[in-house]
Amino acid sequence: MSLFRKMGADMRRRTLLLGGLVAGAAGWLPASGDSRVARNVADDIGGAIVPANRVSLALYGGVPGASPAVLRNAFSEAFAALKEKGGGTLLVPAGLYDFGRYANSTSIISCKDLSNIVISAYGATFKATTTDKAMPHMFYFFNFNNITIAGARFIDPGFNPWVNWKGMYCVGIQASKASRGFRMVNCYAESVVGLFGSHNNASTRQYLADIDIQGEVRNSYKGVGASFIREQVKVNLICHNVRRAFIAYALKNADILVKISSTANWPGSNGLIALVSGGAAMGNVEDVRVKVDASGAGIYGGYVHFYHQGPEADGYMRNIDATVNVTNVSSTPNLFIFDHETNGVQPKTARVWDRISLHGSVTGNFAGRIIFNPSVSTSLGSVHVDANLAAIANVSKLPGYFRVKLP
């Protein structure tokens, strides 16, 4: 395991069609026909501003077909060159980059103390094959400022959705000092543990801020994990068959947008979107906006999970606006779950759900519940439910803090 893991505008347009390049280089294309990931738009870097310097990975031997050792060295030398110049753009030529086989949780490309860098990887596919129960990271950034990865694609043929934590994380971040401004733009992942994950904890949550992840994830365990980020999280994902699209502990000031489709043969989880508080000491959840559009099999306990955990009595979720729209969802999921789990789900809790607004719609088949609240809060709070959902949810049978929002 690497040291990092242990420690916890205009650009020249490349006249390349993203879809065709990847099909030729990797024999691998997403099946989705409806995607916000721009298939034919090259060099969109999401508004990132970096110095005008440009280097090509090929200059350092980083070309499709090179050995894993050569590829890792090429990234190291390219990052060093950009770091010396104060930042800029690393151009990754189109093609398949196979980094080999991994049986341990290592950082394949370690990125330390980088600032003001765009990795433009349109047409490039990064591949690693996990051979044991482990989570290697393709890119691992430790202490950073203003980093963007654009157009990259990731795949792990060794991933297994039925085995917890066997497969590649595409990108991981961690910080021991103030680090902010990390973007992923038009990225795509298939057969991975996760597209993106933050790896700080409650004691270091003050260091990370301003994370913006946009892309598509298919046939994978997780989309984005954004735990212990101080503020400013934006996520915009299209997902098909993911066990969990988003999870975060102590989330603050966030906008989460997910479009999900699922099939019954894929494993699910207790929540597609999990907003988690481990207690006041670990971090509350507040000022969050969530929207989910869902169709297909209902493989989740709920689509938005307001999830208190741990033994601490104090803790709250506050100022959250959540929308779930479901269309022809089979099985019997819940739209919204409110519970507190510590040594099992508690029937009562002192934890708080307050100033929460629930919106959404149900179209076509749906046999589930709108709201499931197995842990009744004994503290003051309020959850406002739109009238159209309240008519289905039968709010009168829920605890008194659930209230129908008047037109």
Tell me the C-alpha distance between 20 and 275, whole Å: 38
Tell me the C-alpha distance between 359 and 383, whole Å: 11
Measured in residues, the chain has a length of 407
Asked if residue 148 lies in contact with residue 117, where contact means CB atoms within 8 angstroms, the answer is: yes
**Helix spans in 180-331 (H):** none
Non-local (6+) Cβ contacts of 293 within 8 A are 258, 259, 260, 325, 327
Tell me the C-alpha distance between 142 and 123, whole Å: 26
- As given in the structure block, the two tokens for residue 46 are 């999401």
Asked if residue 296 lies in contact with residue 263, where contact means CB atoms within 8 angstroms, the answer is: yes
> For residues 262-301, b (16+ Cβ closer than 10 Å) or e, as one string?
beeebebbbbbbbbbbbbeebbbbbebbbbbbbbbbbbbb
- CA distances (Å), 86 to each of 54, 114, 115, 144, in order? 11, 9, 7, 13
> For residues 1-25, b (16+ Cβ closer than 10 Å) or e, as one string?
ebebbeeeeebeebebbbeebbeeb
Residue 364: is it exposed, middle or buried by C-beta count within 10 angstroms (0-12/13-18/19+)?
Answer: exposed
Residue 378: beta bridge partners? none
Asked if residue 46 lies in contact with residue 150, where contact means CB atoms within 8 angstroms, the answer is: yes
Helix (H) or strand (E) holding 296: strand 285-297
Contacts 24+ apart (CB under 8 A), 202-206: 202/228, 202/249, 202/250, 202/278, 202/281, 202/282, 202/283, 204/8, 204/175, 204/176, 204/228, 205/229, 205/230, 205/250, 205/283, 206/230
Running DSSP on this structure, what letter comes out for residue 14?
P
- As given in the structure block, the two tokens for residue 85 are 């110049």
How confident is the prediction along the chain (407 residues), in pLDDT tens digits per residue?
A: 433 333 333 323 332 323 333 333 333 333 333 333 433 355 688 889 999 999 999 999 999 999 999 999 999 999 999 999 999 999 999 999 999 999 999 999 999 999 999 999 999 999 999 999 999 999 999 999 999 999 999 999 999 999 888 999 999 999 999 999 999 999 999 999 999 999 999 999 999 999 999 999 999 999 999 999 999 999 999 999 999 999 999 999 999 999 999 999 999 999 999 999 999 999 999 999 999 999 999 999 999 999 999 999 999 999 999 999 999 998 878 999 999 999 999 999 999 999 999 999 999 988 889 999 999 999 999 999 999 999 888 888 999 999 998 77
Which one, of 300, 306, 317, lies nearest residue 261 by Cα? 300
Which one, of 150, 291, 289, lies nearest residue 215 by Cα? 150
- CA distances (Å), 171 to each of 154, 213, 281, in order? 10, 11, 28
Tell me the C-alpha distance between 263 and 255, whole Å: 26
Which one, of 245, 246, 243, lies nearest residue 268 by Cα? 243
Residue 365: predicted pLDDT: 81
Which one, of 154, 33, 171, 56, lies nearest residue 111 by Cα? 171
In this prediction the pTM is 0.89
Running DSSP on this structure, what letter comes out for residue 348?
E
Tell me the C-alpha distance between 353 and 356, whole Å: 7
Residue 42: predicted pLDDT: 58
